[in-house]
Structure 1
């Protein structure tokens, strides 16, 4: 059992996304944290600089279009989340954590869009 609140970290992640708060979002990730995005091809972003490059433009889209929670629940080794952009576009994200209570990895992919390009995750 981890001695930190994984669900609470993801709630903080969602709040940062809603507010467009890049600094807070990046602080939730471990120094070697990574995002693997399969929404428009598969791309891997690792470390604070690459995560900043990835998340910066996305947060602008999230905060202006609307960012909503659809589902959140414990996963096999972390937290699984489904969120929506502009009330319609849905993205599935799985989060894994470091022993220090930081996000170690995020895997995102389109949810309920089939083969469509989600372009927002």
Structure 2
């Protein structure tokens, strides 16, 4: 297995999401890459065509509503990321990688949502 920068790859993923750049985002995934999303029921998307179907409408929403990086942490088997959409909806994504230095799988689920800011300490 070749060494590669897993954190850097996830930062590239974040940048592609912020720009709404579907082609770059898809290129970060392995040919058999997959996304398992449990944000609204559990759905599995595998391969470039299904990933394009999944990410296309989401990237349009991200770029217009705003996409924020909340936390990013290396973990023994990959990288955990928490991001926000429109500054409010928080999503946790777990990335696993293949030996070719591409994303093999992403698992996303709702994260603990931030309480509304009422100016209280």
Q: TM-score, normalised by structure 2?
A: 0.91
* Counterpart residue number, 1:46: 46
Deviations 1:32-91 (A, max 9, x none): 000000000000000000000000000000000000000000023000000000001000
Distance in 2, Cα, partners of 1:8 & 1:112: 25
Aligned to 1:116: none
Q: Distance in 2 between matches of 1:42 and 1:88?
A: 22
1:79 aligns with 2:79: yes
Unpaired runs of at least 5, structure 1: 114-121
Aligned to 2:106: 106
Aligned to 1:17: 17
**Gaps (5+ residues) in structure 2?**
114-121
Following superposition, the deviation at residue 109 of structure 1 comes to 0.1
Cα displacement (A) at 1:112 = 1.2
C-alpha root-mean-square deviation of aligned residues, in Å? 1.0
CA deviation string 1:1-55 (max 9, x = no partner):
8510000000000000000000000000000000000000000000000000000
The match for 2:119 is none
4+ long deviations beyond 4 Å: none
